[in-house]
Each structure stands twice: as C-alpha cells, then as structure tokens.
Amino acid sequence: ETGVTQTPRHLVMGMTNKKSLKCEQHLGHNAMYWYKQSAKKPLELMFVYSLEERVENNSVPSRFSPECPNSSHLFLHLHTLQPEDSALYLCASSQGTAPNTGELFFGEGSRLTVL
C-alpha cells in the first residue's frame, strides 16, 4: 500500500458508543495530523503529532482522544460524541510539521455520522 490510508471510510455511531478511527501512512513521514471537515467550513486542525509527540491540540473537546503509537500510525478515539461532531475526519502526514514545501499528504477521510 502507498500513501495515507484511513479506516473505516464510513462510521455511524450513537452518542453513547465508543469507536476509533485509524490512519496509517506509508511515506516515511515523521509528522501526522487530524483535521475535521464540515460542510461549508474550513478544514479545522484538531491535533498535530511530531515524532510521536503531540505538539498541538487545537482546543478539541475531550471526547476526542488521539493516540500516536509510532510514526506510521495515528488513531482518533471517539466517545460520547454529539450530533454536531458528524463530519469528515481527515488524516494527513508530512516530513516535518508545517513543511517547507507547504505539502501535506491526506487520506481519503472517515465519514462519521453521530445519531
């Protein structure tokens, strides 16, 4: 596999469920990101990891919990979500944070629906 892979591609969950989103990058990058994409809104940065250390947490509610066990994998653990959390969650990677080339590599996203 190449690039950035996200699973699952679609997820429907109730407000009391616990689920996780997974991201894997096969590019040898050392920085990974979670962005949230809602209709008609800019991509919202959620978390940034550099060398497996969280370096930015953009005021995200605690019901979202990231985990980066190694430089190739990134998880987003979800619990007691709200309907307004329904969105496309995009994972990205790069060599270095905010790289000099301005280039991030995105996965195709996980479409989350909270009932």
How many residues make contact with another protein (CB under 8 A)? 27
Query: In the numeric block, which tokens belong to residue 71?
Result: 């430089």
Q: Which of 12, 15, 51, 55 binds another protein (CB under 8 A)?
A: 55
Q: Does the protein bind another protein through residue 11 (CB under 8 A)? A: no
CA distance readout (Å), 76 to 3, 40, 55, 102, 113? 19, 23, 15, 24, 15
Token pair of 59 as six digits: 């005021």
Which one among 56, 77, 82, 113 touches another protein, defined by CB under 8 A? Answer: 56
Q: Does 66 engage in binding with another protein (CB under 8 A)?
A: no
